[in-house]
Amino acid sequence: MVSTALRYTPILVMVLLWYLVTLVGLVPQSMLPGPGEVARALWDLMLGGDLFMHAIHSLARAAAGLAAAVVVGIAAGLFMAMFRPVRLLVNPLVQIFYPMPKSALIPLVMIWFGLGDSSKIFLIFLGCFLPVVVSSYNGARGVNHVLRWSAASLGATKWEELREVVVPAATPEILSGCRTALAFAFILMVSSEFVIAKDGLGFLISSLGDGGTYPAMFAVIILVAAAGFAADRLYAAFARRQLRWRDA
């Protein structure tokens, strides 16, 4: 209990500093509403009901894009590590797109897919896919060759070697890449909805800011941050459970 409280103390300190800054007037209320005002705005948004609709749409898009990226990305990364033709085909594409800011593709995605859900899901998929591929590939390539040679000498096929040796040994690296992809999913969810959406939390932040309703805008921003934080904490607990064999 004490360790948990200490872990989240920086968040409490940040909120306190926020309150003091607005209390003494270092930043005008029009630019930075106080915590109380933002909390009231969040409550009003929740009572209105639209906030839940926007949140459901956003989280559904993020979940769809992330899930597809995890499944395809892990498979692509493992196959790149195990099969040279796959590596020669996929690796140049990964090297080209990995350093590119995915938000730069928003105009192109909008032309291809329009303003529907598919454009946001594809952008989230693309942004999450690359870190999963890279982590899966690095994890599989980093497996001790002695383990693979031992499996092969015992008569294991390439697929059995992949399933029984490579995947378990690469799991820590794969889980790390998926955690990075989870963060990217929230970033791309909001940034894509700024431009190519008619609903969602990103759209709501943009529309509230354009209308000058800054307390409500800050409330939605904090809600997105809280949702991302909660998702990361849940995923960290899941990853620890999957890797509990390392502490045995």
For residue range 45-89, list pLDDT tens digits in order.
888 778 888 899 999 999 999 999 999 999 999 888 888 888 888
What architecture does CATH give domain 49-243?
Answer: Orthogonal Bundle (1.10)
Amino acid present at 184: F
What pLDDT is attached to residue 199?
Answer: 84
Tokens of 217: 């805008």
Per-domain boundaries in the chain? 49-243
Residues 69, 149: Cα–Cα separation, whole Å? 31
Segments in the chain below pLDDT 70 = 1-5, 152, 154, 245-248
What pLDDT is attached to residue 234?
Answer: 93
Q: In 196-213, which residue ranges form alpha helices assigned H by DSSP?
A: 201-210
Cβ contact 224:231 at 8 Å? no
What pLDDT is attached to residue 70?
Answer: 95
Tokens of 7: 């872990």
